[in-house]
Chain A
Amino acid sequence: MGASSHPTAPGKYFVPEPSKWPLVGSTALLFMAFGAVGSMNSLGWGWWSLGIGFAILLYMLFGWFGAVIKESEARLYGSNVDISFRWSMSWFIFSEVMFFAAFFGALGWARLHSVPDLSSIDSKLLWPNYAGTWPTTGPYIDSPFTPMGAWGIPAINTALLLLSGVWLTLSHHALIANNRSKAIFWLAITILFGVVFLALQVYEYIHAYSDLNLKLTSGIFGSTFFMLTGFHGFHVTVGAIMLFVVLVRLMRGHFDSKHHFAFEAAAWYWHFVDVVWLGLFVIVYML
């Protein structure tokens, strides 16, 4: 799949050869979708289908990204392809912003509209004793919980992510200055901070479930809390994987001071995840 039979002359735009990876990826998603449907509806084959789909997806990710890396290292991507990558990564991050916007919107709607409405005079007949104070399980779920305080683990996590952004910038500057070992060092530190962030988040979830009685089923607070932080945690995981791939490539001698868009794309993504966390910290934990 790697090298093209249309050698990319200067000024020509690189168009890849036919590739099996899109079809492999679609097959993976078909298995995963049926697997998710099956497992959620307690059908025996569901988990099998999910597992097979996930395995095919991993195969596709390794194969497809491997092909792209090979093409990149063969210098098949001209400056014009580089601009395409920059546009596309920017628009992809914009789409992720809108994905988070849906969940932030849900939290805003619940706090500003639906919870006050359920405790208003209009709802007194249905829920006479509902006070409608945030945080809440809603009027009909009787399972009191303690909300997650902002100044424990979440504050530490904020510091971790902000610092990781600094380390990542140090690594980037080192790469631009052609100081590879320094770039590798700071990138590894960045990933380490990301992993510690995730570990603390897992600890926080265990703490919420076992000590605070704060669960996904704790009404609208639990729903929005776990959806927003969980979706963010998933993005941190993806970002850390991206940075890890970049780290491995750095160690293998890929990239130079000018030619390293994979590094920059992963860095953009990491900073995006960082900014989302700041929004989460203020809106979910502090307010």
Chain B
Amino acid sequence: MASIPNDHSHDHGHDHHDHHPTSWTRIFTTTNHKDIGSMYMWFSFAMFISGGIMALGIRAELFTPGLQVVRPELFNQLTTLHGIVMIFGAIMPAFVGFANWMLPLQLGAPDMAFARMNNWSFWLLPPAAILLIGSFFVPGGAAAGGWTLYPPLSVQAGMGMDMMIFAVHIMGASSIMGSINIITTILNLRAPGMTMMKMPMFAWTWLITAFLLIATMPVLAGAVTMLLTDRHFGTTFFNAAGGGDPVMFQHIFWFFGHPEVYIIALPAFGVVSQIIPTFSRKPLFGYASMVYATASIAILSFIVWAHHMYTTGLPAAGQLYFMYATMLIAVPTACKIFNWLATMWRGSISLETPMLFCLGFLFLFTMGGFTGLVLSLTPVDIQLHDTYYVVAHFHYVMVAGALFSAFAAVYYWGPKWTGWMYEEKLGKIHFWWSLIAFNVTFFPQHFLGLAGMPRRIPDYNLQFENWNAVSSVGAFAFGFAQIFFIVIVIRMITGKSGIRAAAKPWDGAEGLEWTVPSPAPYHTFETPPVVK
């Protein structure tokens, strides 16, 4: 790790280009990709804490059998909003934030392709958050039918569901605009010489993710629009009495919902594909195959959606098709895992915090992938559907997959953003604390699910008590670890480590982002660099 001690005055970031607005209106009006990237991240963290508090409400209730902490109605609202807030509020904006900060730096672009629309993509999120969080306080409370919004529950629910529907519309508009911006930036704003197959993997994964978003967010918008008209205007899309079908909602929803899983996972893969080569001091093994594997995963994600619906009475041929198609996704995914392992093979590996989080990602995401393979088996899934086994499975993918790689990204690129190193010892404590607490929380949920404990239920049979208690303890420990995380980040921003970050703080790092000073000046690459 190359870093520059504090006493070297190293402020070459402040040349004459580095003028930026100082007025308080800056956060509302900015067109700067770095400002907007940071705003996305702060928003993401605020939503992460909100969704986390909801999760802790759930775990507090489930600590012992019986109803102690929340009423069942509120419990259902908490599970529903926890899912939506974490997916649309915390994980997705975090990676859009990284994309905003890093894509122009990695590609040698002066900013995002549409800098003003970029600001709108961000500023659509707070109104959506107001609708979501505000829905707890309206008569009838927030949406309570689960984050998948299945009818008939979602058609019967109170006005909190309407707020949810419009929040989904607004977040969808934000995602589509953000994705069009990202795709255009990648396709059109690469520096001369930066051919597609020379792009960093993070840019590749975001290119494909943005395509998935543009293809699926409108479908979700269509689904919730039909919910809205079924609720208020007398249509019968999801009502069998009028010739409709509630299962139709599930098909349309999961046509969005399954690609959504990869919308969350692919940018995480991109981050890991940047960090593992850096700390292995070797180029990424099998770059081209990584690109093709990413594209294959994206294409397959459109044709596997009904594996979420094995218990809805699919015909046997449909179950077989969706089972085999789902298993097929393991092939490109395993290709990625093996490429990361091969990248580390005989590398001179050092274990700074970003690398630790990537290793945690690698191990735990693979476990989540394996339980996914288990769940892809129709006969097994019919047993495990809507049990805690499923909850454990997708939290291994979402938390240990996406969230851990988001932490890795903050430690890896944070010095570039702030100009200061984080404190390595604290970072490592955050990693081990999170890793252990995560597994204490979610590993027992596999046992609970296999034993038959259903998800989205506030009370349970006595036989499930022990592992639920363990899981709840782990959840609170995990929550406190994230308070510790924000302390580390604030100490990094304020330079508490006393170690200024060099332009390239990681000696194995490659790419244009390390050719600009740390912190990156307000305007970078106004004249594009030339890539050999």
Contacts and interface: CB of A to CB of B under 8 A. Distances in A.
Contact of A15 (B31, B120, B131): B31
Instruction: Tell me which of B30, B113, B170 has the highest count of chain A C-beta atoms within 10 A of its own C-beta.
Output: B113
A173 interface: no
Contacts of A110: 237, 243-245, 248
Contact of A220 (B120, B189, B237): B237
Contacts of A103: 222, 226
Interface string A6-28: 10000111011111111101110
A33 B127 contact: yes
Contacts of B304: none
Nearest to A80: B188
Contacts, number: 223
Interface in A176-231: 215-217, 219-224, 226-227
Interface string B290-330: 00000000000000000000000000000000000000000
Contact of B219 (A15, A22, A84, A99): A99
Nearest to A105: B252
Contacts of B234: 215-217
B21 interface: yes
Given A98-B219, A219-B243, 13 more contacts: A23-B119, A37-B131, A91-B214, A96-B218, A99-B219, A102-B223, A113-B245, A113-B248, A114-B240, A117-B245, A140-B240, A216-B235, A220-B243
A109 B245 contact: yes
B245 A12 contact: no
B106 to A, nearest CB: 16
A136 B240 CA distance: 12
Contacts of B232: 40
Instruction: Tell me which of A6, A92, A113, A219 has the highest count of chain B C-beta atoms within 10 A of its own C-beta.
Output: A219
Contacts of A94: 214-215
Nearest to A5: B19
B111 interface: yes
B26 to A, nearest CB: 7
A16 B183 CA distance: 19
Contacts of B131: 30, 33-34, 37
A26 B243 contact: no
Interface residues of A, number: 67
A114 B243 contact: yes
A139 B241 contact: yes
B217 interface: yes
A236 interface: no
Interface in A30-55: 30, 33-34, 36-37, 40-41
Nearest to A9: B527
Interface SS of chain B: helix
Contacts of B124: 25-26, 29
B163 A12 contact: no
B130 A30 contact: yes
Interface string A48-90: 0000000000000000100000000000000010011001100
B166 interface: yes
Interface of A: 6, 11-13, 15-23, 25-27, 29-30, 33-34, 36-37, 40-41, 64, 80, 83-84, 87-88, 91-92, 94-96, 98-103, 105-106, 109-110, 113-115, 117-118, 136-141, 215-217, 219-224, 226-227
Interface in B99-134: 109-111, 113-117, 119-120, 122-124, 126-127, 130-131
Contact of B29 (A23, A27, A87, A114): A23
Interface SS of chain A: helix
Contacts of B127: 26-27, 29-30, 33
A216 B180 contact: no
B166 A33 contact: yes
B218 A95 contact: yes
A37 B159 contact: yes
A84 B188 contact: yes
B184 interface: yes
B241 A102 contact: no
Contacts of A80: 188-189
A98 B212 CA distance: 11
Contact of A22 (B109, B110, B119): B119
Given A80-B188, A138-B242, A140-B242, A87 B130 contact: no
B167 interface: yes
Interface in B189-248: 189, 214-219, 221-223, 225-226, 228-229, 231-237, 239-245, 247-248
B218 A98 contact: yes
A20 B29 contact: yes
A189 B240 CA distance: 45
B236 A223 contact: yes
B113 A84 contact: yes
